[in-house]
């Protein structure tokens, strides 16, 4: 009887071992922060000027520092008046990169904008005349094997 119990236990351990050893069919890839922006009527060119200036310089500096992999700006055709018409997409190597991102970006932003945190916050508030940030969504690429 003892031999049967040992045999059953060994069989169960073997089954659990095989089930635990199965590999996922994907690997986790980069993380994208997708910010939805609604540009105010008549402000598209003004906002694009900001993006091509301060925003681009900040993103290029973050890319050079290795904090981000890439960034993009996408124009969209909204389905209704409340939808975004612009998307700002920043690609990070992984989720861990986001830990302490404000502290990592502060020196870069100070260098690029020549402003402290309070001044940058005030400048961001003034851009509400050009755009409304509808929200930011984090998505992660899953690379199929």
Separation in Å, CA 103 to CA 40, 59, 97, 122, 139: 31, 15, 12, 18, 22
Q: Could you report the per-residue pLDDT of 95-109, keeping only the tens digit for each?
A: 999 999 999 999 999
Stretch 83-89: mean pLDDT, rounded? 97
pLDDT in tens, 110-143: 998 888 889 888 888 889 899 999 999 999 999 9
pLDDT mean over 42-60: 96
| Residue 135 falls in which region: left (phi positive, over 0), alpha (psi -120 to 50) or beta | left
pLDDT band at 79 (very low <50, low <70, confident <90, very high): very high
What residue ranges define each of the domains in the chain, with the CATH number in brackets? Answer: 26-144 (3.30.70.100)
CA dihedral 130, 132, 137, 141 (to 10 degrees): -30
Q: What is the pTM of this model?
A: 0.80
What band does 20 get if pLDDT is binned at 50, 70 and 90? low
Instruction: Provide the pLDDT for residue 113.
Output: 87
* Lowest-pLDDT choice from 18-32, 35-49, 120-134: 18-32
- Per-residue pLDDT at 125: 84
pLDDT higher than 60, residue 17: no
Question: What pLDDT does residue 119 have?
Answer: 87
Q: For 119, what's the count of Cα atoms within 13 Å in the CB-facing half-sphere? A: 8
Check pLDDT > 80 for residue 70: yes
Average pLDDT score over residue span 7-13: 60
DSSP 3-state of 35: strand
């Amino acid at each position: 009887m003892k031999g049967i119990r040992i045999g059953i236990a060994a069989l169960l351990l073997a089954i659990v071992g095989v089930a635990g050893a199965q590999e996922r069919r994907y690997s986790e890839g980069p993380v994208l922060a997708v910010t939805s922006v609604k540009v105010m009527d008549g402000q598209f060119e003004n906002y694009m000027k900001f993006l091509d200036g301060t925003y681009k310089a900040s993103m290029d500096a973050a890319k050079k520092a290795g904090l981000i992999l890439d960034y993009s700006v996408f124009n969209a055709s909204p389905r209704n008046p409340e939808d975004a018409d612009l998307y700002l997409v920043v690609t990070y190597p992984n989720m861990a990169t986001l830990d302490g991102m404000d502290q990592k970006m502060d020196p870069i932003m100070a260098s690029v904008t020549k402003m402290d945190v309070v001044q940058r916050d005030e400048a961001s508030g003034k851009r509400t005349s050009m755009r409304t940030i509808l929200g930011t969504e984090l998505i992660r690429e899953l690379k199929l094997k």
